Structures are given as structure tokens and as C-alpha cells.
Amino acid sequence: MGGTAQIVGNIDVSYRQDNLIAGDMQLVTQSIILKGNQGVLQRGTILGKDATGLYVIAKATAKDSSPTSLVVLADTHDTSLGDVSGAGAYFTGEFNASRIIMDESWTLDQLRDAARPLTIFFKDVVNADNPT
């Protein structure tokens, strides 16, 4: 996922082919509000809704609803200056397991199990950029 991000406002407007999407399943997107002060959240980050209703990096060990309300961030956003309204997120779809960004509290198998009831799937994909 090389290249330099071009942040305008709080969104990355640069385009780079990243192979995040990994199938023909219908993608369902929706706007969400990212909780502020999480730094730059990259496209493909696994998020969940916290107790305040804002989206944060999902942690398997969290005691709120974030481990069970998973979404995949659709674009890169900078949350350094506060909450970000109107961020796009994928609520369903098939995603390349090697391109998602997940908190280290998860294993891929745990994340797959948590996301499956939400119709989010993480696939092992072989492509020219990642032949292994």
C-alpha cells in the first residue's frame, strides 16, 4: 500500500490500489463518526462502536460493544483534532485479510469469528503484490 497520503481536511484524497476489497459480495457502506484523538486511522482499520456511540479501533478485550459492532474503515482519516463526522465504513463485504489493520488484541481467527455474524468476511487472497 505504498504512496504518500494526501490529507485534505481530515480525509485522505489520494488514490492507491490497495486490494482491500476481496470479492464480489455486495458492499454496504454507511457514514459513521470516528472518536477523536486516535491519530490517523488508515483505510482498512477494523473499528467498533464504543459506549458513547462513536467508532474506535476495535479491541478484542474491550468491555463495551466495540468487539461486536465491527466495521471496516473505507478511507483514511486524521482524528488528531477531534471527532470526525461523515467517515465512510463498510458494514458488510469480503476483505483481504492481509490488507486489514486490526488491533494486536485480536488473532485473525478471532476476528473472523466475531465478524462472520455481521456478514463481514476476511479472505486469504493471493495476488501479484502478495504472492505468498
Question: pTM value?
Answer: 0.83
Residues 6+ apart with CB under 8 A from 20: 43, 44, 72, 95, 96, 99, 100
In tens, the pLDDT along 66-114 reads 788 999 999 999 999 999 999 999 999 999 999 999 999 999 999 999 9
Domain ranges in the chain? 17-123
Whole-number Å distance between alpha carbons of 72 and 122: 11
Q: Which CATH code for domain 17-123?
A: 2.40.300.10
CB burial of 78-91 (b: ≥16 within 10 Å; e: otherwise) equals bbeeebbeebbbbb
Q: Which cell numbers in the block locate residue 113?
A: 469469528
